Structure 1
């Protein structure tokens, strides 16, 4: 495999899709050696087939607001690879949504889902629709219009969408209600559903909890734990809430959260009341974090800044792609960070990852750290298929097992000769081998 040649061809075919090309480059550079040691991959052109989606659906979504005005948005669904199971991936509703972002997310999802060991392929979807400031009725009309275009191409054994940024239980409910009416079946095709109609316990917390469980495994490689550790988080939504909740339970102290308007530094740390307030903050529809400092005056709000300049033991980006750059990484290293666990998807830029590796800081990528979310989505699919419900404790045990298994795979393929664990290499190789071998088994299709 000639990584440079493949990337040049992709850049020619897909110019300006920087997030997608960044994700592909990271994986190809990690797997190059093992790929070239196995000529069967090259003869079957596994990489050339893997980096291009199976298919992309793009469609117009027309909906009417409460004042009777017509609005038009674009919707997409990218079915990337289904070698190990039905396509699986969230639906993102945010003004920034474009094909590059969705292709990067779908490509990452292939390997993330493979790491869980559950039978799920990789997909992603979404729209440039902004749910902020919209009424429930307007969101319902949009979601129904979205599903009118997508319903024919999804199904419990075909493609199982889920939530993502801007798509929570409310949006999933509206989409699933329309799907069920159009398909005339109650098959549980979405995950992230309400608990009253097929959802799984711990699903809202799963991405955050799973991220903490994986980070706990990272700490244990150094005979360390969360007790007394200072943790910097970004974001203030559902993922950040789950991470803060579990870290606090394990004895760590979360001192930062952030939003588009800046970040909060709370030297005393987030307690249960403050963590609960995050849910109110997210539900306010303002998309700003500054009100936290009004609610808790001991905290300080830093406008238009990121939280990576504070002194901490562990940094966990929880917001969006490329939110932590090389300069941020240098600040964290100078302030004594020991571990970086990426809970957001591709939260760190290549420059930041380079700095962490150079300093021998243990850094783990989102496809490994945040796989607990899709892992519990897979468990929700299993419960729906068997028409049963597992208890919170049963789901939590299975989530622990999934994250432990992912960490073991990362150690197997990422431990270098000097003992340093390259989690990027470990996660990419483990996920790739599972998917590539499945593709070989099924022929060239």
Structure 2
């Protein structure tokens, strides 16, 4: 009871000191309640106030981002970089450009990143950043001017051994290119390892684009195999149509599954014959269009406005790959009612806490985001390694390293869950595995 009271006290303190930051509150609650068994066995963490320190970012940077549109009008957006924890390496985490971005979302993502990066076993700490700028509907020139303004401030806070940003929602190869160009211009140095997700002709890594989606499938395939299941001939629903979703669809189809739905922020398409991935790539990567255009080329498919209905489609496996908190309790109930066997999180914390609880209580296999979508940051760290060596690995070499990393994450999560009395609960297991490495590093480095 004393231990439970201590954890509840820390959670209450975070909520009181960070009012209105619901996303951040939720992720802190999920992690801290999961690691209670660790604290019970290892009082040294409580004595050293590890929880009090680990929930507090080491640094929060907020700044204005002024930029000029093509008509000459000046706009101002908010910029953020939360450097959460550097106990095991330089801060590492993406930059998100989306109207929903605020301090709560960046802190939630940064906190998640600490444990996700720890799970990869690679030497990278946790951070996150971004802006409430919306790249949709903007010209290339407008996006370039925004990125240059954003990097003009950000460049003083990042570095090869300090903080290494990457892409996230709204930040792909185009944006990374503009950001890196401005960084190089200001710093007068070709520090290729300061940003990841770069183009192949200036320091990028093969398989980085595919890494998060592929990693999700590698992880969930292991989870399914332990339950005597496989992707072959299974019906799969995948939300999103961005980078993660696209390559999750690709690998699921390679594994013999039939993917019948995907979405974007406006709505979703259902294709009973199976999603035409080449068409999705044409719409989203070439035209930069909306997913509703899919039915123009495939009249037999259905388009539905709004995203929530995608979880009412009967499926064996559901992979939420769009954004945070997209799969709520009502959606979880619909999935269970339709016989879903497994849910794997491709986005960052896409399921609400009550949805996760409902899925687990109904014996649905659950692959948590911290573990299942760690493939992207893992290959980002491999990109950093290649930049340091001034060398490039082949696609097959990187992909094999990714498979091994995801297998290690799965085995470590499974082992920690069993060791601390929660056998089969990968959510608890991955939180514990991620926490232990960071907490031990913090202990070794003293009170800092």
TM-score between the two structures when normalised by the length of structure 1: 0.97
Match of residue 103, structure 1, among 107, 120, 124: 107
Partner SS for 2:210: helix
1:323-348: per-residue Cα shift (whole Å, max 9, x none)? 00111111111111111101110000
Match of residue 44, structure 1, among 44, 48, 73: 48
CA distance in 2, matches of 1:391, 1:260: 34
Please identify, of 287-296 and 394-403, the stretch whose mean Cα deviation from structure 2 is larger.
Answer: 287-296
CA distance in 1, matches of 2:206, 2:90: 22
Instruction: For 1:309-320, list aligned pairs within 5 A.
Output: 309-320=312-323
Name stretches of at least 5 consecutive residues in structure 1 with no aligned partner.
none
1:182-224: per-residue Cα shift (whole Å, max 9, x none)? 1111111100000000000011111000000001111110122
Instruction: For 1:50-199, list aligned pairs within 5 A.
Output: 50-188=54-192, 189-199=194-204
Q: Which residue of 2 aligns with 1:291?
A: 293
Paired residue total: 442
Partner SS for 1:227: coil
Partner SS for 2:360: helix
Please identify, of 16-25 and 173-182, the stretch whose mean Cα deviation from structure 2 is larger.
Answer: 173-182
Instruction: For 1:345-384, list aligned pairs within 5 A.
Output: 345-384=348-387
Instruction: For 1:333-412, list aligned pairs within 5 A.
Output: 333-412=336-415
Query: How far apart are 1:238 and its partner, in Å?
Result: 1.2
Instruction: For 1:11-50, list aligned pairs within 5 A.
Output: 11-50=15-54
Name stretches of at least 5 consecutive residues in structure 2 with no aligned partner.
none
Partner SS for 2:443: helix
Query: How far apart are 1:417 and its partner, in Å?
Result: 9.7
RMSD, aligned α-carbons = 1.4
Is residue 211 from structure 1 mapped to residue 213 from structure 2 by the alignment?
Answer: no
8 A Cα contact 1:46 1:439, kept in partner: yes
Match of residue 321, structure 1, among 324, 328, 335: 324
8 A Cα contact 1:133 1:285, kept in partner: no
1:35-70: per-residue Cα shift (whole Å, max 9, x none)? 132111111100100001000000011111111111
8 A Cα contact 2:37 2:420, kept in partner: no
Query: How far apart are 1:378 and its partner, in Å?
Result: 0.5
Indicate how the Cα distance of structure 1 residues 417 and 201 shifts in structure 2: closer, same or farther if over 3 A, else same: closer
CA distance in 2, matches of 1:261, 1:254: 19
1:58-114: per-residue Cα shift (whole Å, max 9, x none)? 001111111111110110100000000000000000110000000000000000000
CA distance in 2, matches of 1:68, 1:175: 21
CA distance in 2, matches of 1:287, 1:354: 36
Indicate how the Cα distance of structure 1 residues 416 and 83 shifts in structure 2: closer, same or farther if over 3 A, else same: closer
8 A Cα contact 1:314 1:338, kept in partner: yes
